[in-house]
């Protein structure tokens, strides 16, 4: 878990999510975040991360987590949709995916502080 003083200083919430699209995000940082969460990023992961970053860059902050998951399901339907996405990001393709992609959480994303498993 992120130290609250670091969070305040660096614009990161206590769960590792940033407040905006971080300009200093790199693939190496994404790999480090993923490794800390027990993931090794494959080309399939990178496709989702790229899609998330492109959506944020083109559309800005999504209206809601539900809107974003529907966009993800549509885009990755040929690979298996939601099942495929959760196989890649077991803590949630929106929450965990955005964290690894260096993006803020969209509104109405489940609050991990309540111990809700995805």
Question: What is the share, in percent, of the chain residues with pLDDT greater than 90?
Answer: 58
Q: Is residue 78 part of a domain?
A: yes
Which residue segment(s) compose the domain that 96 sits in?
A: 4-110
Q: Is residue 27 part of a domain?
A: yes
With 90 as the cut, is the pLDDT of residue 9 above it? no
Q: CATH no. for residue 88?
A: 1.10.10.370
Q: Is residue 117 part of a domain?
A: no
Please give the mean pLDDT across all residues of the chain.
81
Q: Is residue 116 part of a domain?
A: no
Torsion angle (degrees, nearest 10) of CA 79, 84, 89, 94: 80
Q: Is residue 63 part of a domain?
A: yes
24-72 pLDDT, tens per residue? Answer: 889 999 999 999 999 999 999 999 999 999 999 898 888 888 999 999 9
The whole-number pLDDT of residue 76 equals 98
Asked whether the CA dihedral 56, 110, 30, 82 is positive or negative, the reply is negative
Which pair of structure tokens corresponds to residue 20? 């905006």
Number of domains present in the structure of the chain: 1
Q: Is residue 76 part of a domain?
A: yes
């Amino acid at each position: 878990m992120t130290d609250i003083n670091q969070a305040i200083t660096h614009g990161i919430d206590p769960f590792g999510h940033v407040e905006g699209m971080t300009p200093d995000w790199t693939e190496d940082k994404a790999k480090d975040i993923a490794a800390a969460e027990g993931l090794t990023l494959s080309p399939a992961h990178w496709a989702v991360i790229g899609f998330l970053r492109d959506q944020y860059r083109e559309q800005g902050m999504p209206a809601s987590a539900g809107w974003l998951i529907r966009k993800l399901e549509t885009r990755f339907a040929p690979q298996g949709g939601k099942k495929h996405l959760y196989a890649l990001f077991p803590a949630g393709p929106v929450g965990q995916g955005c964290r690894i992609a260096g993006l803020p959480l969209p509104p109405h994303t489940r609050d991990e502080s309540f111990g809700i498993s995805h």
